[in-house]
Amino acid sequence: MSDVQPITLTEEQRDFRAAMRQFAEDKIAPRAAEVDRDAEYPWDNFEALKAMEVPALGIPADYGGSGADHVTQAIMVEELSRVCASTSLIALISKLGMIPVMNWGSDELKATYLPRVASGASQASYCLSEPDAGSDVASMKTRAVRDGDHYVLDGTKYWITNAGISDIYTVFAKTDPDAGHRGISCFIVERDWGVQVLKLEEKLGVRGSPTGEVRFDGVRVPAANLVGAEGQGFSIAMMTLDRSRPTIGAQAVGIAQGALDYAVGYLKQRQQFGRPIAEFQGLQFMVADMAMKIEAARGLVYRACAMVDDQAPELTSAGAMAKCFASDVAMEVTTNAVQLLGGYGYTKDFPVERYMRDAKITQIYEGTNQIQRVVIAKRLLG
């Protein structure tokens, strides 16, 4: 494995965590249940994120960002997820859409789009999956045909986070349909060029973050908006996910931590048989196991995030481990939190059922955990 050192947070990162927790408790938590119930994009939360300069995290300072390291970004995601996973996804998605621009885009693309995202003036979406091309990315059907100084895009993308909200779409399309994954290219497409949102999904969790079907029907994209070179899209997509999966792990850690914190508070207050149920050893062992697994997941996540900054060669495997382990932990911890609250945990009067629903998607998006295990095994076995 890498020589990246174990993570101990700096004083600045600890202070940042404290500030983010206070912000999340004060500004985001009070409406979390309402955001989930109404399944509408929380613009007030986005404005609060802008006021905290959250969109600038991770964007280079030369383009209006704060240039924060990836561990600091993970802390941000974790603290938001601890109270509202939908809001954490809002904070994550534009950065995902801009990773290809930051790492492979031309100077012109960087100067055009990164400041808009860093300021919160624009939001971005990542358009990779299709109806018949989820885990099998090379099966995508979306086409990009060169026409003079433009490309013409035709096709449909599914499961697009922030569909209809974003005004910038990072789109992967086949420029050579006969070349398999080597025929995929990456483009930056603006909504006003003709991007259509055909429908929004009714989802189990992260209901305040819209997910939809996006259609490109003869959309003309300037050739200058090609990211990297033709045929480089598959590698751009995979290396982008390597960089973003650790922060999905951070989202899972935050969801799990929020569920554990609520369950612990409940155990201290709830009385049965004349004493707080926190005194029952069976329940004590449950919360101890939950806390240990969360801390193990957090360590994996922070280590993978440090690898992103160090450009460690083991990032692909480490990122897959962090995302896979943390999301499995989140699902287990949130399910146990529902159990600890008994019948109350099964009702919407208490937040643990929301945590459980939100946790599930972390096992699915940005590569299912089955795919993560394939990635890890291939790295081990060659």
> For residue 10, what are its two tokens?
């700096």
Which contiguous run of DSSP H or E holds residue 99? helix 85-104
Q: Please choose, from the candidates 49, 47, 46, the residue with its C-alpha nearest in 3D space to the C-alpha of residue 20.
A: 49
Orientation of helix 233-269 relative to helix 352-362, angle to 10°: 160
> Is residue 34 among the annotated active site residues?
no
The secondary structure of residue 166, as a DSSP letter, is -
**Three-state DSSP class for 248?**
helix
Q: Please choose, from the candidates 252, 158, 137, the residue with its C-alpha nearest in 3D space to the C-alpha of residue 205.
A: 252
Q: Report the chain's terminal Cα–Cα distance, integer Å.
A: 15
Q: What is the 3-state secondary structure (H, E, C) of 294-341?
A: HHHHHHHHHHHHHHHHHCCCCHHHHHHHHHHHHHHHHHHHHHHHHHHC
Question: Distance between CA atoms of 81 and 28, rounded to whole angstroms?
Answer: 10
Which residues neighbour 62 within 8 Å (Cβ) at sequence distance 6 or greater? none
> What is the CB neighbour count within 10 angstroms for residue 99?
23
Which residues neighbour 180 within 8 Å (Cβ) at sequence distance 6 or greater? 138
Q: Are 163 and 214 in contact (CB under 8 A)?
A: yes
Among 213, 230, 353, 366, the one annotated catalytic: 366
Quickly tell me which residue has 């599930």 as its tokens.
360
Question: Distance between CA atoms of 354 and 321, rounded to whole angstroms?
Answer: 25
Q: Which residues are the active-site residues?
A: 366
